[in-house]
Amino acid sequence: MPGFELFGDKERKQVQDVLDSGVLMRYGFDGMRNGHWKSKELEAALSQRMQTQYVHLVSSGTAALTVALATAGIGAGDEVIMPTFTFVASFESILALGAIPVLVDVDDTLTLDPDAVEKAITQKTKVIMPVHMCGSMADLDALQSLCKKYNLLLLEDACQAIGGTYQGKPLGSIGDLGCFSFDYVKTITCGEGGAVITNNEGYYQNAHKYSDHGHDHIGNDRGAEQHPFLGYNFRISELNAAVGLAQLSRLDEFINLQKRNYTILRKALSTIPEVTFRRVPEGGEENYSFLSFFLPSEDVAQNVHQALGANGVDACFYWYNNNWHYYRKWEHLTHLKSLGNLPQEVADGLPDYANVDFSASDLWVGRTISCLIKLGWTEKEMKERAKKMIEVIQSFI
């Protein structure tokens, strides 16, 4: 991770096809295309890889989450349960629809704690949205049981977890809807892009219309298309899809490299008794894009993280103080900083996040360091990196 490390001839070939045709838009201009429909090809390839009937590409992972929620009719005042440890896009997509993001603690999986989720369910709850952060998954069996018990939608945010599996099924394919991000730093990239996957035809029909201004896409005359409902513009371009098409064909190659490098590092760090690792639910397999481990205390984790950077060990993240990924630095959400007036449902329904107790999340995230696993590192480089990390960690334990 990320896929841009290994751009090559496959990516150049797919992009050149689009440039040669001159058609950068995914819809229309049939006669100019020379048979190239990169978005459609990528959707078909993703459908096969993710073992789902329907795939619709959009402009980003954030767009995928927004579109997925909208396809299921989520709107003003509806509550969506999400984790305290995620990317800001999780609550942005919810708020964009006038819905309420309900933050819930994570456990040793670094994803939603099912017990905390059940306690957060109200009559307004419509969706449970686990986020498979850093390549590993939530307790999906437990969350699915809650969805069945309370008649809720399960939306998998698998934006960081493509290639991971749970009980033999691709992550993202297990819930009612799944979402992926293909931005520049993901395991496979389109530069910018995302996808919604589902086995529900109704959700798919809503998704491709909603993401293109409500166009119904019936017939071959775009100007004659009807608008069954309001929509917005979340379209992907053919150039972005072309890059993604090449990258998807290399996913197994990337996952194998990540697994090799991850395994070298994990085996080395396992020799330190004080280091423990995030729990992967039984039956799950990570995509090996990050190695996340726990240290004995918050102070030790902070000191180790600083020392790793000072000793030239890059690409290690301490999420507890991270502006993008942990609730403690989401002041714009806590204080509802918006350019315009937010819907009254949001103002009235949003919890007072300045005073909510998320100490259960702090217990885990405060002790976590996650190491990005790069594709370009050789086995020798990984072993040298592991040796240096052991030296740094042991100096603080």
Query: Are the CB atoms for 137 and 164 separated by under 8 Å?
Result: yes
Reported confidence tier of residue 285, pLDDT bands at 50, 70, 90: very high
- 186 annotated active-site: yes
Secondary structure of residue 326 in the 3-state scheme: strand
Cα–Cα distance for residue pair 289/258, rounded to 1 Å? 6
Q: Give the H/E segment covering residue 372.
A: strand 368-372
Q: How far is CA 276 from CA 106, 178, 281, 314, 364, in A?
A: 17, 30, 15, 21, 11
Is pLDDT at 319 greater than 90 in this prediction? Answer: yes
Q: Which ranges in the chain are annotated with CATH 3.90.1150.10?
A: 252-394
Q: What is the pLDDT of residue 57?
A: 99
Tokens 């440039």: give the residue: 19
Is the pLDDT at 373 greater than 90, yes or no?
yes
| Nearest one of 1, 42, 39 to 21, comparing CA atoms | 39
For residue 197, give the nearest of 161, 232, 230 by alpha carbon. Answer: 161
Any idea what the Cα angle at residue 48 is, between residues 39 and 60, rounded to 5°?
40
pLDDT digits (tens, 9 = 90+) for 86-138: 999 999 999 999 999 999 999 999 999 999 999 999 999 999 999 999 999 99
DSSP-assigned states of every residue in 169-197: EETTSSSSEEEEE-BTTSSS--BS-EEEE
The single residue of 119, 124, 169, 186 carrying the catalytic annotation is 186
CA dist., res. 352 & res. 333, Å (int): 10
Cα 231-234-236 angle, rounded to 5 deg? 140
Cβ partners under 8 Å of residue 300, min gap 6? 367, 396, 397
Q: Report whether 273 contacts 150 (CB < 8 A).
A: no
Q: Which CATH number is associated with domain 3-250? A: 3.40.640.10
According to the model, what pLDDT value does residue 74 have? 98
Gap between the Cα atoms of 97 and 74, Å rounded: 7
- What's the whole-number mean pLDDT along residues 171-195? 98
| H or E stretch covering 157 | strand 153-157
Q: CA angle at residue 275 from 271 to 278, to 5 degrees? A: 120
Q: Is residue 211 scored above 90 in pLDDT?
A: yes
Distance CA 374, CA 371 (A): 9
The side-by-side arrangement of strands in the sheet containing 368-372 is 276-277, 290-294, 368-372, 316-317
Please answer whether residues 241 and 42 qualify as being in contact, where contact means their C-beta atoms are separated by less than 8 angstroms.
Answer: yes
The CATH 3.40.640.10 portion of the chain extends over 3-250
Each residue of 28-72: pLDDT tens digit?
Answer: 999 999 999 999 999 999 999 999 999 999 999 999 999 999 999
How far apart CA 160 and CA 373 sit, in angstroms, is: 13
Q: What percent of the chain has pLDDT over 90?
A: 99
CA distance 138 to 158: 10
Strands (E), 32-142: 54-58, 79-83, 100-104, 125-128
Instruction: Say whether 368 sits in a helix, a strand or coil.
Output: strand
Averaged pLDDT for residues 155-176? 98
Query: Cα separation of 306 and 29, whole Å?
Result: 54
With cut-offs at 50, 70 and 90, classify the pLDDT of residue 1.
confident
**DSSP state at residue 14:** H
- Three-state secondary structure along 233-300? ECCCEHHHHHHHHHHHCCHHHHHHHHHHHHHHHHHHHCCCCCCEECCCCCCEECCCCEEEEECCCHHH
What local confidence, expressed as pLDDT, does residue 32 receive?
95
CATH class of 252-394: alpha beta
Give the 3-state secondary structure of residue 231: coil
